[in-house]
Amino acid sequence: MIFKSKFPNIKIPQIGIYQYVTSNPSKIPDDKVIYVDGTTDKSYTFGEVKHESKKFAAGLQDKLEFKHGDVLAIFSPSQVDYPIVLLGTIAAGGKVTTVNPKYESTESSHQLIDSNASVLIVYPEILEVAIEASIKAKIPTSRVLLFGDKEINGYLPYCSIIIDEREIEPIHYFPEEAKSTTAYLLYSSGTTGVGKGIELTHTNITVNLAQQICADCELGPQSIIMGVTEFCHSYALIDVLHATLIRGTTTIVHPSFSVKTFCESIQKYKINRIYVIPSIILEMVNDPLAQQFDLSSVDMILSTTAPLSDKLERKFYEVYKIPILQTYGLTETSLVLQQPDTTKNAVQGFSGILVPNMKAKILSEDGRELGYNEPGELWIHGPNIMKGYLNNKEDTDSAFDIDGFFYTGDIVSIDKQGIFFIIE
């Protein structure tokens, strides 16, 4: 039995990522502040994001001879300059691989080599690890550049390649090109071996943003949000960094998390929506310092990457009276299930409905298609699902069935109202 989204199908964007996220459907002015560093107050307006990213793209082409299809690696925690480098690379026609800032040289060098990265932009505090990884990956010193504005031991800041005010015209993609062209190479955690490169296309990203807007239409230019998860992961990369631009919200960015800075930012900027992982909810419950701040501006917290226990969720609500919305997805799929409401009345564990343009089937261990209220393995199909695993045809082929459904590895059931329940 095939289950379809309760939402009507939406029109799939027919353009590349850069054109889509800067299309400005909300008609915000160029002087609207988009990204703010929650520690230093450094900020970028909508106009500055466009200008600086296109100047960075020109610098890549002019100084580093960066070509269409080349790969740039970002090795950094989330911070306010991250979108400039990422979107500038996309504007230049390149691909971006995002390296987890917690990686040591062995893990990071594997990613650099496997992705065939030719340029590395690194956060100064992790330069030592980056140098070791770049040597293993044979990336020349001249192509290892720093965030910030200071030279360190001969390594130059990326702003040094922006030699003038030239801005490129971002690469344009026709519909079929957007559908087939890889934009991001995100790597799995590698729990069963080395991390696998997950190829996400321009259409994978743009359609997932459109799905999110349809499923959650409350955010807009009036909203102030904060993401305290790493941009290197698909959750923050799509739901925070990209969604900020297309929705026209203002996003407060922090390179690291602490209860104090987290709460200070909420109080200072009057943040409305926060994107977290369950461990942050746990810290908020256990640290009495958090209760000393005014968090009343927050109307919703969104949690993902792992299930949030009912007990912890109830405890958090008892203390802060802030509802938590959970979503379900994988790096290979981005957002798949969105909780239908925030009341949580009588619902145990995570439940949600398919986002638009998606369908699913539930299979038994012996491959039979199951129906309502029959737990089984979740297989999903939609335009937001990855192109495949980089350099790994065998794993790509085994991840999809003959009809193009992707195997999630999770056990679920669905009721007759179309609500999926994640069992394990």
Average per-residue pLDDT for the chain: 92
Cα–Cα distances (Å) from 369 to 398, 402, 405, in that order, read 18, 14, 13
Continuous segment of H or E residues that includes residue 225? strand 224-227
Cα 235-26-184 angle, rounded to 5 deg = 30
Q: Indicate if the pLDDT at residue 299 is higher than 50.
A: yes
Phi-psi region of 138 (alpha: psi -120 to 50; beta: other; left: phi over 0): left
Distance separating the N- and C-terminal Cα atoms of the chain? 21
Q: What is the mean pLDDT of residues 147-170?
A: 90
Tokens linked to 348: 């145990």
Question: Does residue 280 register a pLDDT over 80?
Answer: yes
Are 10 and 211 a contacting pair, CB within 8 Å?
yes
375 token code pair: 């737990």
Mean pLDDT score, 289-299: 94
Instruction: Outline where DSSP puts E strands in 20-94.
Output: 33-37, 43-45, 71-75
DSSP 3-state of 197: strand
pLDDT of res. 191: 44
Could you say which DSSP state residue 289 is in? Answer: G
Task: Summarize pLDDT for 256-269 with one digit per residue, the tens.
Answer: 889 999 999 999 99
Q: Residue 246 pLDDT > 50, yes or no?
A: yes
74 contacts: CB under 8 Å, gap ≥ 6:
82, 85, 86, 96, 97, 98, 99, 121, 231, 232
Q: Is the pLDDT of residue 343 over 50?
A: no
Mean pLDDT of 24-45: 95
Structural domains in the chain, sorted by start? 3-422 (3.40.50.12780)
Q: Give percent of the chain above pLDDT 90.
A: 81
Question: Tokens 């379809």 map to which residue?
Answer: 4
pLDDT at position 348 over 70: no
Q: How many residues does the chain have?
A: 424
Reported as a pLDDT band with limits 50, 70 and 90, residue 326 is confident
- Written as six digits, the tokens of 265 are 């930012």
Rounded to whole angstroms, the Cα distance separating 129 from 111 reads 13
Question: Sorting pLDDT into bands at 50, 70 and 90, what band is 309?
Answer: confident
Q: Is the dihedral of CA 351, 355, 357, 358 positive or negative?
A: negative
Distance CA 147, CA 129 (A): 15
Q: What is the pTM of this model?
A: 0.94
Give the C-alpha separation, 123 to 32, whole Å.
27
Neighbouring CB atoms inside 10 A of 408's CB total 20
- Name the E strands within 296-370: 300-303, 324-330, 334-338, 351-354, 359-363
